[in-house]
Amino acid sequence: MDSKLYIYNTLTRKKELFKPINPPFVGLYACGPTVYGDAHLGHARQAVTFDVLFRFLSFLGYKVRYIRNITDVGHLESDADEGEDKIQKKARIEKLEPMEVVQYYMNRYHENMRQLNVLPPSIEPRATGHIIEQQQLIKKIIDAGYAYIVNGSVYFDVMKYDADHHYGKLSGRKIDDLLSNTRALEGQSEKKNPLDFALWKKADPAHIMHWPSEWSEGYPGWHVECSAMSTKYLGVEFDIHGGGMDLLFPHHECEIAQSVAGYGKDSVRYWMHNNMITINGQKMGRSLGNFITLDQLFAGNHEILEQSYDPMVVRLFILQAHYRSTLDFSNESLQASEKGLKRFIQAAEKLGKIQASGHSTLDPSTLGKKCLDAMNDDLNTPVLLAHLFEATKWINAISAGQETITTNDLDGLKKIFSSYLSAVLGISLTGQNKTGDNLAEELIRSILNLRTEAKNKQDFALADRIRNELNKLGITIKDGKDGVEWEI
RNA sequence: GGUCGGUUUGCCGAGUGGCUAGGCGCUGGUCUGCAAAACCAGUUACAGCGGUUCGAAUCCGCUACCGACCUCCA
């Protein structure tokens, strides 16, 4: 395994040569969603980013164990470890079991991932299924002296930890700065210090999800699940841990502290963080309420969407930017990606029909290396795509008879398309660019446009005929002052 | 306020001390009954001001603006 993959390590703020701890095995962990709402574009970016990493490592020949968790308990709504569990809140509002909420949104998440051609991870552990592992880790941290118990809750002692190690080394924070910036809730906190975070919380009587423990009937804190589950399946030390940049602090910082405190060493070799999707220059986020869900995107069902977008279009849109840059949502950009995808699909079709010749007028021999170099450079998917677009230009030229290619070179070209575009980037080129539903909608829309034209020409006989024909199919037409509406 | 990051051609978005990123759009062309589609060609920018350098969009400094994190968030 002699790869030259460089990845940007948030811990060192540098691109580093990737060396697995136990080649050819690679352990990869990425923070998945908290399932209390539909997945949005930001979740798609996280999932696609680490899916591509998973695919590329596998492509390079590594045996990758990819863990992507589902958070189904434990994240509270407000700061200072107070407030209501989000899943519980949803359950209370909708009169469901918390596990029903979890199952519902998890199913929908999986469906969205399938649509985006995101491969299932090797293991998808859930926090509620690893309460014991979390308790074991908490116990280790207590035994090591880095946690204290108050009224049945267990808190991580950040000051004590920082005295021995360095709390803030991932996010570049200093404990003094953090302290001067905490919005401390004076008085009622059980914590010794506002920076301390909960490892285990005693459940108040209204709390639905709780488990027995030696400290109290309660539930695990925000950050333990990832530390417990990653090390359970990947070992105390593993290769890569990823997630969104917004998890960098405090979530991942706390994970490091927990590992060092509990296991006596850092668990993670390479920390990777994908950047945010922005909308009008501002971060898209659940808490900001400015997000577009994937279902809305795929259906065109949101006021700022001019049309629906195929999941593959969304995937290509995401991959046309580097994962560490912010990516701004706009209809124009998505539409540009839609055209680009079409270009790839048509090139792939042509590629299957090209006849080889005695000699090549183009030299595709270096293309494979360029593609590999792009990916090796911290997963530079936009550059890889640029090379692949270059290849489509060649394919078009060969197809038009302007250039010729040998069987050998043709095979090479085909191989590059299938390995990089399909296998590594996960762009599916089946040509099923539109779902059946979207196609039907567009057919109806174009028929209605014909009718509008007829009406404009005073050809009411034709216009009425179209309406009657559609009526027979159960489609009702409603002429309004803002245009034609229809429903089935 | 602290920490970090960004400012690239009409839009999105890579990149690098000297050589065309790419996609979309636009313009022109090929094709075509017309149109569309498709294809081909053209479209050379790097916030401002200083500095380092033979040479900087690329390194350094300052200024302006934008954003992220510091509270749950992918």
pLDDT tens for A300-349 read: 999 999 999 999 999 999 999 999 999 999 999 999 999 999 999 999 98
Å between CA of A334 and C1' of B12? 9
Distances (CA, A) of A414 to A55, A241, A289, A392, A408: 19, 33, 44, 11, 10
> Where is A469: in which H helix or E strand?
helix A460-472
Which nucleotide lies nearest residue A386, CA to C1'?
A: B22
Q: Return d(Cα A142, Cα A237) in angstroms, integer.
A: 20
Q: Which residue is closest to B22 in terms of CA–C1' distance?
A: A386
Instruction: Place A77 in a pLDDT band, splitting at 50, 70 and 90.
Output: low
User: Which nucleotide has its C1' atom closest to residue A180's CA?
Assistant: B2
Contact criterion met (CB below 8 Å) for A209 and A88: yes
Distance measured from the CA of protein residue A443 to the C1' of nucleotide B18, in angstroms: 55
- Which residue's CA shows the smallest distance to C1' of B24? A336
What average pLDDT does range A56-61 have in this prediction? 97
**pLDDT tier at A435 (50, 70, 90 boundaries)?**
very low
The yes-or-no verdict on residue A358 having pLDDT over 90 is no
Write phi, then psi, for A62 (nearest 5 degrees).
-75, 150
Higher pLDDT: A2 or A221? It is: A221
Nearest nucleotide by C1' position to the A40 CA atom: B74
Strands across the sheet containing A147-150:
A147-150, A153-156, A197-202, A218-220
Say how many C-beta atoms besides its own lie within 10 A of residue A188's C-beta.
Answer: 7
Q: Closest nucleotide to residue A400 (Cα to C1')?
A: B39
Which residue do the tokens 């009718």 mark? A451
CA of A47 to C1' of B46 (A): 32
- Cα–Cα distance measured from residue A62 to residue A27, given in angstroms and rounded to the nearest whole number: 10
Distance of C1' in B13 from CA in A333, Å: 10
Of the candidates A287, A277, A238, the one whose C-alpha atom is nearest the C-alpha of residue A79 is A287
What is the mean predicted confidence (pLDDT) over A465-482?
70
Asked if A378 and A325 touch (Cβ cutoff 8 Å), the reply is no
pLDDT at A75: 62
User: Is the peptide bond prior to A250 cis by the omega test (within 30 degrees of 0)?
Assistant: yes
Phi, psi of A466 (to 5 degrees): -60, -45
Which nucleotide is closest to the Cα of A183 by its C1'?
B71
**Joined tokens for residue A342:** 């079409």
Q: Is the pLDDT of residue A488 over 80?
A: no
Q: Give me the CA A210–C1' B38 separation in Å, rounded.
A: 62
| A349-to-A317, A400, A405, A430 alpha-carbon distances in Å | 21, 13, 17, 9
Give the DSSP letter of residue A192.
S
Residue with the bigger pLDDT between A316 and A185: it is A316
Separation of alpha carbons A106 and A33, rounded Å: 9
A13: left (phi over 0), alpha (psi -120 to 50) or beta: left
Tell me which nucleotides of strand B come within 7 A of a protein CB. Answer: 1-5, 11-15, 21-25, 38-41, 66-74
Query: What's the mean pLDDT in A111-120?
Result: 97
Please report, rounded to whole angstroms, the spatial distance between the CA atom of protein residue A384 and the C1' atom of nucleotide B55.
30
User: How confident is residue A433, by pLDDT bands cut at 50, 70 and 90?
Assistant: very low
Q: Quick one: A436 exposed, middle or buried, by C-beta within 10 A (0-12, 13-18, 19+)?
A: exposed
Lowest mean pLDDT among A80-94, A181-195, A327-341, A345-359: A181-195
Average pLDDT over residues A60-72: 97
Residue type, A197: F
* Interval A159-169: pLDDT, tens: 999 999 999 99
Point out the least confidently predicted range of A75-84, A119-128, A291-300, A389-398. A75-84
Give pLDDT tens digits for A332-342. 999 999 999 99
Average confidence score pLDDT of chain A: 89
CA A147 – CA A134 distance, rounded (Å) = 14
Cα end-to-end span (Å), chain A: 57
**Alpha-carbon distances of A451 from A440, A461, A463, A477, A487, rounded to whole Å:** 17, 10, 5, 11, 16
Residue A454 CB partners (closer than 8 Å, separation 6+): A460, A462, A463, A466
DSSP state of A403: S
Contact criterion met (CB below 8 Å) for A38 and A294: yes
pLDDT for position A1: 54
Which nucleotide has the shortest C1'-to-CA distance from A277?
Answer: B74
Residue A324 per-residue DSSP state: T
The residue type at A337:
S
CA of A98 to C1' of B38 (A): 53
**What is the predicted ipTM?**
0.95
A390 CA vs B29 C1’ separation (Å): 21
pLDDT, tens only, A359-410 = 888 888 889 999 999 999 999 999 999 999 999 999 999 988 888 999 999 9
Q: Which domains does chain A have, with CATH numbers?
A: 6-274 (3.40.50.620), 279-424 (1.20.120.640), 436-487 (no CATH)
Residues with Cβ within 8 Å of A158's Cβ and at least 6 positions away in sequence, in order, are A167, A175, A193, A195, A196, A197, A257
Q: Is A137 helix (H, G, I), strand (E, B) or coil?
A: helix
Rounded mean pLDDT, A109-127: 97
Residue whose pair of structure tokens reads 């560490």 in the numeric block: A324
